[in-house]
Amino acid sequence: MNLPQIAISRPVFVTCLVTLLMVLGYMSYRSLGVDLFPDVSFPFVSVTTSYKGAAPEEIETQISKPLEEQFSTLEGVKKVYSVNQEGFSIVTIQFTLETDSKDAEQRVRDKLAFVRPQLPKDIDEPVIQRLDPSSQPVIILSLQSSLTPAQAYDLVDQVIKPQLSQVPGVGVVDIFGGGKREIRVDLDRRKLNAYRISATSVANNIGLNGQNVPVGKFQTNGQNMLFRSVGEYNDLDRLRHTVVNFLGSDVPITVDKVGQVVDTTEDPQNYSFLNWKKSIIFRLFHLRERVFLQRRR
């Protein structure tokens, strides 16, 4: 006896069976959960290293190649490739699908600690990241204003970003675009040669004079009072009148005598536009928790 014969000979039974399946399917559909960020592990690990001022050729020979040689010896490595640009290196290690991503990240971290002494000392500490779908931004906002680039960036970084970071569920707020304020000292080579001062000496003296240094403590009435020398630059005039050297033994050489202090913004590393106008982009990342949405009944 086949299915058509059963349907013809026992129509009530088949009707009840189909109705039961439809009800169960509808109930399952109503209670079906949707995972916006499924727990998926991709065997990709990237190592980002910043080396300010270095050319791509130096990045490749001094950073990327030593890292690639060490990472290629790891077990389960399928492919190793790098991106070398001015100022930073990105080395990506692709493992086989059978490799656990967390274990791969730990092995990369151990291998990096082994090869770290071979890298230049002036580099920033390398950053290890594991490819994770939950690391994608959940909301992207754009801001446009009539303020100067420095004022707009300060507004975003000091006012708006802290407020957004306090919103429940928001883990990280990333800023893209804009111009961060920068105080730059443009030195005159002819004046440096005339005073016989090197640019390195000027930079070192500016850094030393701008530090807050503890100078000691004084005990009175059973209480200790701590004292410190406040050298932090609060305005441009103080920076202009900072002494960087002495001519002879008693004539001070200040910053404004060998260069010019300029209140400007950092060289732009990226741009963001909205409707063909410059803007600042906010990227909001959620907390590292799995987010579920239940279908509305």
- Reference 93, options 59, 57, 110, 101; nearest CA is 101
Query: What architecture (CATH level 2) is domain 137-180+267-294?
Result: 2-Layer Sandwich (3.30)
pLDDT confidence band for 292 (50 / 70 / 90): very low
Query: What architecture (CATH level 2) is domain 44-134?
Result: 2-Layer Sandwich (3.30)
pLDDT confidence band for 41 (50 / 70 / 90): low
Looking at residue 22, what is its pLDDT? 92
> Domain coordinates of the chain in residue numbers?
3-31, 44-134, 137-180+267-294, 182-265
User: pLDDT tens-digit profile of 139-192?
Assistant: 888 888 888 888 888 888 888 888 888 888 777 788 887 788 888 889 988 988
Asked if the model's pLDDT at residue 289 lies above 60, the reply is no
Domains 44-134 and 182-265 fall in the same CATH topology: no
Give the H or E element holding residue 171: strand 170-176
DSSP assigned state of 70: H
Q: What are phi and psi of 245, to 5 degrees?
A: -170, 175
* Cα–Cα dist 297/284, whole Å: 29
In angstroms, what CA-CA distances link 254 with 94, 190, 205, 240? 54, 15, 10, 7
CATH entry, 182-265, from 3.40.190.10, 3.90.1150.10, 3.30.2090.10, 3.20.140.10: 3.30.2090.10
